[in-house]
Amino acid sequence: MISTKKFLSSVCALSLGLSALAGCSNESASNSTEDGEKSNKPFELSIMATLHTPEIPDERLELLLEEKTNTELDIQWVPDANYIEKVNTAFATGTLPMAVSISAQELGTQFKQAIRDDQFWEIGPYLDEYKNLNKLKPKVIENTKVDGKVYGIYQGRPLSRQGFIFRKDWADKLEISTPTNTDEFYEMARAFTEDDPDGNGKEDTIGLSDRSDLLYGAFKTVSSWFGTPNEWGLKDGKLLPEFMFDEYMDTLDFFRDLHKNGYINKDFPVTSKKDQQSMFKNGTSGIYVGSIGDVQGLYDDATKLNPDLEYDVQNKVEGPHGEFGIWSIPGFGSIMMFPKSAIKSEEELKKTLAFYDKLMTPEMANLLLWGIEGEHYEVKDGAALPDASIREKLDREVRPYLSLEVGEPDTNGRYEGFAAYEIKAKAEELIKDNENYLINNPVVTLDSETYTKNGERLKTIITDATYQYILGQIDKKGFETAVEKWKEQGGDKVIEEYNASYKKLKNN
């Protein structure tokens, strides 16, 4: 017994000594690389990445990536659906890899605490040592901050893709011009329902199809048209949640009318995205509010059913106050963070960052997103056109790697996608145009402990009341009761905490 113990402890001591030695040699090695790239030993890096495809990706791009960055990669692909579970398990068992991608939402809630408990490297001070990482947009970086410090490299997303897609052929037939304000929008929904836009003599169409999603469905976008703040807004110098603003009430009434008159699908609070889209594709509904980039996929499918169908897109819709605004996301979908449990030294961190710096060159960024030129895609008018005839191959070899992308086209210099369908090209332009009218969420970088702890639950109170009001199951008083309930169950505290945090940030 004693001898085994002794043996074990001596092994431990030995390995400790060795690792210390290794640490030393690592240091000297990295020093020499910085001096003149003498050492050619690949750097070993483990990454946990989200997998959006059903299959494990092909290794080809990974091997190319390794070769070009002189790295030995160990990528753990985790399906999107149980990604967070996997991260938590790895956390609990101390087996986190050196780089972990965390979504914007989880960053705001679950991981704040872990970051405060010093589980991740703060990378802010190192960023300007890298010429590519240094290009990342300061405005977006600002949004990824926790307690004013930068902990990750973001993966960019367009700030606002919101707008609406509608049946151009229906509108032409009924002689309706593209709506530019909420009244015209309402009129279009009415006409598409009542004036028989498909000309079959039956009342079988509805204006707008929506789904069970107040955020990415129609509601939030329309609320922006009415001038509602994005989640939180300032009223007399005080931060208040959006549903305490009159504009939110206006939006509610707008939807309640749409619903009462049958201009929107009756069961929208339980409709899936798939059903919503198929209503729009098969000619049941004529308006689709949401991400206007969807127009390509919708058009591809819809023309198979009805070759004569035409779509158009629009972003600007003014509210009764005569102005247009549109809500925005913080500009990133996820960030790469670096756990201290896996990256032990500053040297290692610097090498890891150097890898991500390389990923931000146009060559690498194109490889990650489009694959190999000439094989997976062609360059056409300065944009990438993926070979549509090898869709399955693309899904297996290229698509998964997009979750490794760093930054966005503006900063990493990769090609934009080539839009063969002109309306899609228009949608891309409108998405850029949206950036002039953004309504930002002011609490993204602010902090409320109550919200972190109980936010999801509190949100449900308001989400439920919003649906119930639109369905006509509660009246104005009922909605106000729900708001009171929200306040009592912790909302008041959330308001207080956000305002305190806001003041602190402003004074700094």
Partner 1 sequence: MDNDLVVVKKNSTVIPKASRRTELWKRIKKNKFMYLMILPGILYFLIYKYLPMYGLIIAFQDYKPYLGISGSEWVGFDHFKRLFSEPDFWFIFRNTLLLFVLQLVIFFPIPIFLALMLNEVRNQAFKKTVQTIVYIPHFMSWVIIVSICYVILTLDGGVVNGILESLGFQKINFLLSDEWFRPMYILQVIWREAGWGTIIFLAAIAAVDPQLYEAARMDGANRLQQMIHITLPAIKSVIVVLLILKIGDILELGFEHVFLLLNASNRNVAEIFDTYVYTTGLQQGQFSYSTAVGFFKGIVGLILVMFANWLAKKSGEEGVY
Q: Using CB under 8 A as the criterion, which residues of the chain lie in contact with partner 1 when the complex forms?
A: 84, 88-89, 91-92, 94, 109-110, 113-114, 117, 119, 206, 212, 265-267, 269-271, 279, 341, 452-457, 460, 463-468, 471, 473, 488-489
Q: Name which of 174 and 471 has its Cβ closer to partner 1.
A: 471
- The DSSP letter of residue 42 is P
- Give the shortest CB-267-to-partner 1 separation in angstroms: 5
E strands, 285-394, are 285-291, 311-314, 326-327, 332-337, 377-380, 383-386
Question: Could you tell me the smallest distance in angstroms from the CB atom of residue 465 to partner 1?
Answer: 8
Residue number, 270 or 388, with CB nearest to partner 1: 270
Residues in CB range of 500: below 8 A, 6 or more apart? none
Distance in Å, CB of 81 to partner 1, minimum:
13
Q: How far apart are CA 164 and CA 117, in angstroms?
A: 43
Nearer to partner 1, 285 or 411 (CB): 285
Q: List CB contacts of 182: < 8 A, sequence separation 6 or more.
A: 222, 225, 226, 254, 317, 318, 319, 320
Among residues 71 and 450, whose Cβ is nearest to partner 1? 450
DSSP 8-state assignment for residue 70: T
**Rounded-to-integer distance, Cα 158 and Cα 432, Å:** 8
Are 101 and 50 within 8 A, CB to CB?
yes
Residue 35 or 117 having the CB closest to partner 1: 117
The amino acid at 53: T
Residue closer to partner 1 by CB (options 279, 367) is 279
What is the C-alpha to C-alpha distance for residues 170 and 199, in angstroms, rounded to an integer?
Answer: 9
CB 360 within 8 A of CB 264: no
Least distance in angstroms from the C-beta of 92 to partner 1: 4
Q: How far is the CB of 447 from partner 1 (least distance, A)?
A: 15
Is residue 289 helix, strand or coil?
A: strand
3-state helix, strand, coil in the chain (%, to 5): 55, 15, 30
Query: 291 - beta bridge partners?
Result: 162
* Rounded Cα gap, residues 22 and 154, in angstroms: 32
Q: Residue 93 or 508: which CB sits closer to partner 1?
A: 93
Packed helices 246-260 and 218-225: angle between N→C axes, nearest 10 degrees: 120
Shortest approach of partner 1 to residue 111 CB, angstroms? Answer: 8
Report how far residue 101's alpha carbon sits from residue 211's, in angstroms, rounded to the nearest whole number.
Answer: 29
Least CB distance to partner 1 at residue 310 (A): 24
Nearer to partner 1, 4 or 93 (CB): 93
Q: Check if the beta carbon of residue 415 is closer than 8 Å to that of residue 370.
A: yes
Nearest distance from residue 485's CB to partner 1, in Å? 8
Minimum CB distance to partner 1 smaller for 154 or for 451: 451
Residue 302 beta carbon to partner 1: minimum distance, rounded to whole angstroms: 18
